[in-house]
Amino acid sequence: MQFVICLTGMEKFEKVRVNEKNFVMVKNLHGNWYSAGLKAIIGKLGNELYKKLRNDEQKQLEKCLDNIEDKRDLVMSSQCLTKFRKNYLREMNREKMKKEEKKAKKIGAFTMEQQSMEKEEEAQIEISNERNAKQKQ
């Protein structure tokens, strides 16, 4: 008896099973859902990035997006966003490095690069002094 109930339940799925007639329709539906999902992600990332940018950068991003002829073109819009995101991250990294250098100077510490540069200068001075001493002899 349970088997008959299961079979009856499976018959309901025959109506929604993909066949040759509805394959194209299901394929298009899937493609549309995929595109809509990508658009939503790109839109959300773009919105968050836009809020973080300076006014001049916001205008440049707007111009980049406005220059896209086909507003459904996900590749061009994501290229604009990628370009501005990389610039934003590069600038944030640069500012972080400047803050770290200022902090190091305030506490009288040297960064590793400064220390190695000073050691190289000291070594060059020693070599120069040794040469001068040899020339005097």
pLDDT at position 6? 56
Residue pair 57/87 in contact by the 8 Å Cβ criterion: yes
pTM assigned to the model: 0.58
Q: What is the mean pLDDT of each run of 10 residues along the chain (137 residues)?
A: 57 77 90 94 95 95 94 92 95 88 67 64 76 72
As a whole number of Å, the end-to-end CA separation of the chain is 114
pLDDT at position 123? 74
Coil/strand/helix, residue 135: helix
**35 contact partners, CB below 8 Å, separation of at least 6:** 72, 74
